[in-house]
Chains A and B, each alone.
Chain A
Amino acid sequence: MKRTRWSFWWHLGSLPILLLTLLPVYLMLKISVSPPAEVLTPHPTFGLHHVTGEHWKALLTSGALWPPLLKSLLVATWTMLGAIALAAPAAYAIARLPQRWKYPLLLSFFASRMIPEVGVALPVAVQFLRWGLEDTQLGLALAHLIRTLPFVVWILAGTFETIPVALEESAQVDGCHRLQILWYVVFPLAAPGVAVAALFAWLESWNEFTYALYLSLTENTLPLQTYYYVIRGSWFDAATYATFLAVPVMLITAALQRYLKAGYLMGALKG
């Protein structure tokens, strides 16, 4: 009853949300296809009047497009794998702990997320250099894990908590030993939560800037390359690169968002 009465206003409310979210992307797109005269003027235009492909052509032939993209993709994937590999066993163990251990432990892991990167990146960079890890994907992934692990542990601990111990116990009664239980009973049930955590870890690494700034020498990641275009590029480089990234990324996020069922986070919240 209530729903249909307010429904119109709620639906109307979605319009400004859509507009505000999409407006910056549209403007980037517009700049990337505009001739200089339309942008480099005291009064720029909003619509698409003259369209030119010169900026896109310059970007695509510069050869500086794909390496950062590839590096970011790979580092994000390593981070995601590492995060799950390190966090899942720990989260499972923590989820089965008595309450008084659980919360402080999770909180202490979370404390490591409080560290400002600008302070830590320097010692990390120096150490990585000694280990020969500077400018490698592995090194950057390891640094990204610092940021990602606490939150992933939190989500996974919450996920594992929602799996009743009774299920495991009944499997044990049926004669399965520990590892079998983990593999065949726990993991499938936890898979949606793991997927959310993995996606989160991937996004965090993809987005990360500060560690990359301190730890990259010859190959930029995506955010670093964007930064380079901001401080060194011509006016259109930054906008064109931003559009080049924004449009496919937004399409992919839009496609993937259906897997991000909000309910998967509930486990973490109840913790």
Chain B
Amino acid sequence: MPQKLKHHTLTGLMVLPLFLYLLAFAAVPLFSCVVLSLTDGASNAFPSLDNYRVLFRDDQFGQAFQNTLWLTSLGVSLEVLLGLAVALVLQRLVWGRAFVRAVVLTPLGLPTVVAGVMFIYLFSSTGYVNEFLYRLGLISAPIDWVYGGWRSLGVLLMAELWKVTPVVAFILLAGLESIPETVYEAAAVDGAGAWRQFWHVTLPLLRPSLLMAVVVRAIDAFRVFELPLILTGKSFPVLGTLAYSEYYEYDNPFTSAAAATVLLAIIAACIGGYLFLMTRRPMEGA
């Protein structure tokens, strides 16, 4: 009996620092943020939905809301697809494997802002992409990539994909490498071709990796901030940049907190819903 108590005490002590830390630096500030969003800016009355009212009336908010959702959903889907493709290539390489692996993982080490700088030069109106298209004879007048709307979305997606695909590829590669060869051999014996093997063997076994990749990426993708800030500015607002500009340009920490709280609610809802759906269905073919 005392042994068990000692065990639990030790367990508790080991978890305590982490728990306290997250409480102090994550829970409390988050709570302050939510409280701030419910405080009326002018009269300091609490609770008040005034900030949300102001925010929802602003049509930039509606834009930002939509943009965030589109950017995240398209971004995560493309990242997983592209990451899977890259992981498959990496797994099957024989020559130059270390070299390709090294190159693919290098964007990981670059700060996102630096990656953004690269894409500014690529996609400006006298940038290299326009020049390339011009030389190919595809366009005669420069394309305006940051006009907002789908083109800006495309530019942001490309920049984000460049920076982030290595992470997804890495996670999926881990999953791919953990599938034993025997499973494939058994399937081949059963007469399954390459495509069927992929669809019915690889993908189901890859499910935990895919799940992890999606969750990890989605949480970060919703909070996208630096890339829109420097690449597209106000023409493609997202909730992160909206919260920032509310505070820095319009001097209003209250509406800034409101925008951040909305973002938090979206993230929680999406991740929660996704996990709920995904962990209900039993795993096939395990």
Q: Do chains A and B touch in the complex (CB under 8 A)?
A: yes
Tell whether A170 is near chain B: CB-to-CB under 8 Å.
Answer: no
- The answer to whether A242 and B117 touch across the interface, beta carbons within 8 angstroms, is yes
Which of B102, B114, B263 sits near A116, CB closer than 8 Å? B263
What range describes how many residues of A lie at the interface? Answer: 35 or more
Residues of B102-123 whose CB lies within 8 A of A: 102-122
Residues in B with CB closer than 8 Å to A242 are 114, 117-118
What range describes how many residues of B lie at the interface? Answer: 35 or more
- Shortest Cβ distance from residue A63 to the other chain B in the assembled complex, whole angstroms: 20
- The answer to whether A21 and B98 touch across the interface, beta carbons within 8 angstroms, is no
- The answer to whether A262 and B170 touch across the interface, beta carbons within 8 angstroms, is yes
Residue interface bits A155-189, CB-to-B below 8 A is 1, else 0: 00000000000000000000000100000000000
Bound-state CA distance A6–B88 (Å) is 12
- The answer to whether A151 and B29 touch across the interface, beta carbons within 8 angstroms, is no
Residues in A with CB closer than 8 Å to B113 are 209, 223, 226-227, 230
Tell whether B236 is near chain A: CB-to-CB under 8 Å.
Answer: no
Assuming the contacts A118-B244, A249-B109, asked whether A270 and B208 have C-beta atoms less than 8 A apart, the reply is yes
- The answer to whether B212 and A120 touch across the interface, beta carbons within 8 angstroms, is no
Bound-state CA distance A78–B112 (Å) is 20
Name 14 extra pairs, CB < 8 A, besides A21-B107, A96-B11. A10-B88, A10-B92, A18-B100, A41-B126, A90-B17, A119-B260, A119-B261, A120-B26, A120-B30, A226-B111, A227-B230, A245-B114, A254-B106, A265-B170
Interface residues of A (CB under 8 A from B): 2-3, 6-7, 10-11, 13-14, 17-18, 20-22, 24-25, 27-28, 31, 41-44, 46, 86-87, 89-90, 92-94, 96-97, 107, 109-120, 122-124, 127, 142-143, 145-146, 149, 151, 153, 178, 203, 206-207, 209-210, 222-223, 226-227, 229-231, 238-239, 241-242, 245-246, 249-250, 252-255, 257-258, 260, 262-266, 268-270
